[in-house]
Amino acid sequence: MADRSGIVFIGSKPPMNYVLAIITSLSASDAKEITLKARGRAITTAVDVAEITRNRFIKDLKVSNISIGTEEMPAREGENRSRMVSTMEIKLTKE
- Residue 20 or 87: which CB sits closer to its own copies? 87
Cβ atoms within 10 Å of 67's Cβ, excluding its own: 10
- The distance between the two most distant Cα atoms of the chain, rounded to a whole number of Å, is 49
DSSP string, 72-94: EEPPPTT-SS-EEEEEEEEEEEE
Q: Is 63 in the site for its own copies (CB under 8 A)?
A: yes
Judged by CB under 8 A, the chain residues 5 through 44 that form the site for its own copies are 40-41, 43-44
Q: Is 68 in the site for its own copies (CB under 8 A)?
A: yes
- When binding is defined by CB under 8 A, the residue of 10, 19, 34, 50 that contacts its own copies is 50
Q: Are 90 and 44 in contact (CB under 8 A)?
A: no
**Footprint on this chain of its own copies (rule: CB under 8 A):** 40-41, 43-44, 47-48, 50-51, 55, 63, 66-70, 84, 86, 88, 90
